[in-house]
Structure 1
Amino acid sequence: MVVGCERAVVAGDLRIRVVEEGEPGAPVVVLVHGFPDTSAVWDGVVAGLVGRFRVVRYDTRGAGGSGRPEGLSGYRVERLAEDLAAVVKVVAPGRKVHLVGHDWGSTQSWVAVERYPELFASFTSISGPSLGHVSDWVRRNRRHPVKVFNLLKHSWYIAGFRVPVVPELVWRSKKVRAALNARHRELVNGLGLYRANVGSAPAPRRVDVPVMQIALRRDPFVKVGHLQAAEPWVENLTRRSLHASHWAPRTHPAAVARMVAEFVDGTPARRELVVITGAGSGIGRATALAFAVDGAEVVALDVDGAAAARTAREVRGHAYEVDVADGAALRAVAERVRVEHGVPDVVMANAGVVVAGAFLDTSEADWRRVVDVNLWGVVHTVRAFLPQLVERGEGGHVVVTASMASYFPSKALPAYSATKAAVLMLAECLAEEVKPNGIGVSAICPGVVHTDITRSATFAGADAATEQVKRDAVTRTYQLRGYGPERVATAVVRAVRQNRLLVPVTPESWLALLGSRVSPRAVRILGRLAGPTWRQ
């Protein structure tokens, strides 16, 4: 039964307001807020935890409904750690709790886990490094002043907070308070945290409590370098990334709650999950194998269910039959993948078909087929999976298979080239949109690569017998070229690791790209010479 109550805990000469919610007998999670917040900053996180845990949060001294100490010494992190210990002993006597701290809530929590390890089963630190760790790091790197400056420059505002009177005057502005989503009381009292502690941090101690740091990749104040300062001092340290800014408990509460729950449960780190469409053969199959060799778990999607299953067996992954031209079906598969395997880290929209022939010979049905698979298939794939990556907040990567035809106009491939050019532009637009979410985008542009796609190519305007002759001729040409899909797969994995957007693969693709930039007219002339129109 979920219950909730509010109580006051006496810590020294102060009364601390404490709120408890959740299952009485469940594991206890204690949340500690930072500056200039109150315990209300955790509202969304509590909603994600309260069904499985007993969640305790409180207003730190000088904030919310808690008392305010007299003098700066009352804001020393040692005193704040004593408050935390007092709260834990009252709300969970004789039990270890799981501690989560944000900003100054994390900074004081570091001191608490150092001095009262018997009270804590785990500690999750969010954008609040230990002052002692950072001071130790600065000392160890004092012979590298540029390195030290590059880290400490992100804390420029601290100098301003330590200036007398001026910050208090700034806090009178309603616009400033609204921008910080804070009240005047917390802003003024919270200055004591900076004035009492910065420059006089307690010496760090070894931490044996398991610690998880959530690195907020868009935090303008706390960088990964601050977090790395903890590494020499923590026996059991885990670090996870969340593509959020400083106030992630407010802006990304579901992601924070999920990470905390997984850490509390001891959920082991999972393998990278890669979803590939058109994975039954060719570049898709080769890429599945390449990611599997790289340690990833692979989900193979293909309109040919048997082919997808063969690839899945080879990579010890999972297979689903789906037509990428069917948006509803693809969304249903994406939801099954999420439920059964989790949110993917890499999504590759690779399925494609070839329709060759002059524009005047290409029927409306041909156009619909190539657009439905090559363009709508990519759109459906991205629309089905990308929201999952964004919602999760841990970044990821989207790969689309474009082509050298994206920037090499050919009279033999108007329909195919038009769809691949659209896919390339989609990738370039998408890259800018999802960059703030920490999601990369790569457009893979192969040239002449020997895959089974040539055996299923459609030649507009040709009868069945002529079409088969042309398929055989193109297939032989591609075989003689000798450039296999496994080389494209290697380029895909490299592009994901290096976060490259435009990825020409074969030598002719690189040359076509260079030519399109240097002399588009010369490329168009080559395009007129590259292959017959197939007209009868």
Structure 2
Amino acid sequence: MGFAPPTLGGMAPARERFVECSDLRIRVVEEGVSGAAAVVLVHGFPDTLRIWDGVAARLRERFWVVRVDLPGAGGSGRPRGRDGFRVERVAGVLGEVVRRVVGRPVHLVGHDWGSVIGWRAVVDEPSLYLSFTSLSGPDLGHVRDWIGRHRWDPVGVVGLVRKSWYIAGFLVPWVPEAVWGLPFVRRRLRAGRRELVNGLELYRANIGRGAVPRRVEVAVRQVELVNDPYVSRRHLEAAEPWVSDLTRTPLHAGHWAPRTHPDQVARLIGDFVEGREARRVVVITGAGSGIGRATAVKFAREGALVVALDVDRAAARRTADEVGGHAYELDVTDSAATGEVARLVVERHGVPDVVMANAGVGVAGPFLQTSEEDWRTVVDVNLWGVVHTLRAFAPHLVERAQGGHLVVTASAAGYFPTAALPAYSTTKAAVLMLAQCLAAELKPHGIGVSAVCPGVVNTDIAGSTRFAGADAVEQAARRKKAARAYRLRGFGPEKVAGQVFRAVERNTPVVAVTPEARFVRVANRLSPRFVRWLGRVVNPT
């Protein structure tokens, strides 16, 4: 099928028109940038094209947006018989609308039954569709095939089928129509009686008709609505053997996400239409050296885009250059600066998928020799720095509603009470508890939180630790001794980086790194008294 290339024009206001397709009159609303990439939005049951109002308002600034009322819904006519609601018939009507209204290949987006119809449309006329975004509407043939392949897994099959329990009621004659006559039911469903009654025919015309799975050659993105009570991960996985180019993106929203989360849905559609690479963005503070730098290298090797933040601009730049990422100078003790850097990162690189609050300093020495200045320094960096970092980035992850992960670099010192590290241990115990509190708070948003607790690791912190009560000569001597001991320990930061990566992948809440860190953590559970004794006789510095 040949199409003339579009000519890019200006922004056009919303325009309603009607298209005659065989014996049907189909309502269409067009708006956006004339000649830009065309996005066709198809609603489901029991909605009309109005469910896309918020999404269309955001997409029309970049695309030519076309919304279609399905047969029997909104301003479109009703097919004369039940066969007019068959998926293949409605897909044919959709294709006719695209040819007459747009006249060139389009990017198709379907929700609920609009998605079910979309699967058939991209199979029947693949040259008409450049891509397909599916929300909460699996292909019926794919699902039937999945059930057949998993027939020896009754638990899995029941888990899939139970999501669609309501369909059995829709197939019963007359009863659903009577229910739709109740005003409070229509208000709850935010639907008109016409859409509810006519929409039943989609179920009655297609369910149980022996749908056949077909291969899809068009690029498909499934938006997995994590809180959808009607469509499960199994429904989405059914497509995997049948789609050549399939990606899946989670969105922590319910079934009617186009209405409740228009910003997020529009962004996902726009990114897919424009072919933006779905590359994980990882932000790390204190990335100029040690554990931060090693973690940046690890994530970069795994394909992530790394944003390195450090108070030392040159060190951050070296890390960024090594991993092909981006660098920003940041003093995490400055709340306003941290917020501004977070804003720039989100604006330039997107909302990060992983944020690691890693920047830290060391202060050693007995409590009675630790000055107020020492306390302020270690609390400002190790505690307030973590708080500022998480406060700056976490809201962006929540608003995006696609999950993500926060990592806090704590320490085995956070649960090992030693006379040698009262200030340092206090801050690390605080951020360890903060991470666990955040894990509980952010779990409903699909955001994981991990506290990484290293023991003795060979990093620059050993040679830069402030030893309370020591003069300049003693300070230098003790730093040199500590750095040599950490070096002889031989546990490098790259091993911690591997544990950080694994914690993110597995959503592990607390990770004790190094044998001594794991030993003390277990010992705390078995005999806290023994650990307190150990803290009096062992000097980790």
Q: TM-score, normalised by structure 1?
A: 0.93
Q: Bigger shift: 36-45 or 154-163?
A: 154-163
- Give the structure 1 partner of residue 41 of structure 2: 31
Moved more, 403-412 or 209-218: 209-218
1:462 paired to 2:470: yes
Greater CA deviation, 139-148 or 318-327? Answer: 139-148
Match of 1:86 among 76, 80, 96: 96
CA contact (8 A) 1:2 1:51 kept: no
- Cα deviation, 1:264-306, whole Å, max 9, x if unaligned, reads 2233x24322211111111111212222222322221111112
Match of 2:306 in 1: 298
> 1:479 matched to which residue of 2?
487
Q: Find the residue that maps to 2:74 and give its secondary structure.
A: coil
Q: Deviations over 1:339-398 (max 9, x none)?
A: 333322211110001122233332222221111100111111112222222233332211
Indicate conservation of the 8 Å contact 2:453/2:513, yes or no: yes
Which of 342, 360, 379 is the matching residue for 1:352? Answer: 360
> Which segment is superposed worse, 31-40 or 129-138?
129-138
Task: Say which SS state the counterpart of residue 121 (structure 1) adopts.
Answer: strand
Q: 2:326 aligns with which of 318, 329, 335?
A: 318
Give me the whole-angstrom Cα distance separating, in 2, the residues matched to 1:172 and 1:467: 82
Shift of 1:309: 1.8
Q: Where in structure 2 are the equivalents of 1:199-278 lying within 5 Å?
A: 199-267=208-276, 269-278=277-286
- Give the residue type in structure 2 aligned to 1:221: Y
Which residue of 124, 134, 137 corresponds with 2:143?
A: 134
Residues 3, 23 of structure 1: 8 Å contact kept? no
3-state secondary structure, aligned to 1:122: strand
Whole-angstrom distance in 1 between the partners of 2:378 and 2:186: 55
Q: Which residue of 2 aligns with 1:288?
A: 296
CA separation of 1:116 and 1:531: change in aligned 2, threshold 3 A:
closer
Cα 1:497–1:77 change in 2 (3 A) is same
Q: Distance in 2 between matches of 1:73 and 1:293?
A: 54
Amino acid at match of 1:122: S
The equivalent of 2:8 in structure 1 is: none
Structure 1 residues 410 and 182, CA, compared in 2 at 3 Å: closer, same or farther? Answer: farther
Confirm or deny: 8 A CA contact 1:3 1:24 kept in the other structure.
Answer: no
Deviation at 1:134, TM superposition (A): 1.4
Residue 120 of structure 1, aligned match among 115, 120, 129: 129
TM-superposition CA deviations, 1:445-497 (whole Å, max 9, x none): 01111211122212223332333333233223323322221211111111111
In 1, Cα distance between the equivalents of 2:231 and 2:166?
Answer: 12
Matches for 1:312-461 after TM superposition, within 5 Å: 312-461=320-469
Alpha-carbon distance in 2 for matches of 1:345, 1:178: 38
SS of equivalent to 1:200: coil
Query: CA offset at residue 320 of structure 1?
Result: 1.5
Instruction: Summarize the Cα distance change of 1:263–1:455 in structure 2 as closer, same or farther, 3 Å threshold.
Output: same
Question: Is residue 148 of structure 1 aligned with residue 169 of structure 2?
Answer: no
Q: Which amino acid aligns with 2:254?
A: S
Per-residue deviation, residues 114-169 of structure 1 (Å, max 9, x unmatched): 22334322221111111122122323333444432232222222222223344344
1:45 maps to which residue?
Answer: 55
Aligned residues: percent identity? 64
**Stretch of structure 1 that moved more, 346-355 or 432-441:** 432-441
SS in 2 for 1:2: strand
Contact 1:14 1:67 in 2 (8 A): yes
Q: Letter of the 2:149 partner, please give it.
A: R
1:59 aligns with 69
Give distance in 2, aligned partners of 1:377 and 1:16. Answer: 58
Aligned to 1:336, the other structure's residue is in SS state helix
Is residue 110 from structure 1 mapped to residue 119 from structure 2 by the alignment?
yes
Instruction: Name the residue aligned to 2:539.
Output: 531
Structure 1 match to 2:316: 308
SS at match of 2:462: helix
Q: Kindly indicate whether the alpha-carbon contact (under 8 Å) linking 1:38 and 1:59 is maintained by their aligned counterparts in 2.
A: yes
Which one-letter code corresponds to 1:121 in the other structure? L
Whole-angstrom CA distance in 2 between matches of 1:40 and 1:123: 20
* Greater mean alpha carbon deviation, residues 235-244 or residues 503-512: 235-244
What do residues 494-535 of structure 1 show as CA deviations (whole Å, max 9, x unaligned)? 111111110001111112111222222222222222339x9x
**Residue in 1 that maps onto 2:170:** 161
Q: Once the 2 structures are TM-superposed, how far is the Cα of residue 174 of structure 1 from its aligned partner?
A: 4.9
CA distance in 1: counterparts of 2:481 and 2:37, whole angstroms:
68
Per-residue deviation at 1:239? Answer: 2.8
- The one-character-per-residue Cα deviations of 1:402-444 (angstroms, maximum 9, x if unpaired) are 0112211222222211111111111111112222222211100
Give 3-state SS (helix, strand or coil) of 2:19's partner: strand
- Shift in Å at residue 18 of structure 1? 1.5
Distance 1:521 1:316 in 2: 48
Matched, 1:100 2:105: no
Q: Which runs of 5+ in 2 are unaligned?
A: 1-10
| Cα distance in structure 1, aligned partners of 2:381 and 2:181 | 59
Asked if structure 1 preserves the Cα contact closer than 8 Å seen for 2:24 and 2:76, the reply is yes
Name whichever of 326-335 and 187-196 sits farther off. 187-196
Partner of 2:456, secondary structure, is: coil
Tell me by how many angstroms 1:48 deviates: 1.7
Aligned mates of 2:283, 2:456 — CA distance in 1: 24
* Mapped contact 1:16–1:61 kept (Cα < 8 A): yes
| Aligned counterpart, 2:6 | none
Change beyond 3 A, Cα 1:415–1:171 = farther
Output the amino acid matched with 2:109. Answer: V
Distance 1:114 1:498 in 2: 37
**Further displaced range: 161-170 or 1-10:** 161-170
Contact 2:291 / 2:459 at 8 angstroms: preserved in 1? Answer: yes
Could you tell me how far 1:324 is from its partner in structure 2? 0.7
Other structure's SS at 1:351 match: coil
CA distance in 1, matches of 2:181, 2:385: 55
Question: What is the DSSP-based 3-state SS (H/G/I as helix, E as strand, rest coil) of the residue aligned with 1:125?
Answer: strand
Q: Does 1:11 find its partner at 2:21?
A: yes
- In the alignment, what sits opposite 1:491? 499
For residues 234 and 325 of structure 1, what CA distance do their matches in structure 2 show? 49
Structure 1: how far apart are the matches of 2:240 and 2:497?
36
Distance of aligned partners of 1:119 and 1:450 in 2 relative to their CA distance in 1, 3 Å threshold: closer
Judging changes above 3 Å, is the alpha-carbon distance between structure 1 residues 482 and 235 closer, same or farther for their aligned structure 2 residues?
closer
Distance in 1, Cα, partners of 2:429 & 2:95: 61
For the 8 Å contact 2:144–2:211, the answer to whether it is kept is: no
2:3 maps to which residue?
none
Distance in 2 between the 1:238 and 1:455 partners?
Answer: 46
CA distance in 2: counterparts of 1:206 and 1:357, whole angstroms? 68
> 1: CA distance between counterparts of 2:303 and 2:126?
36
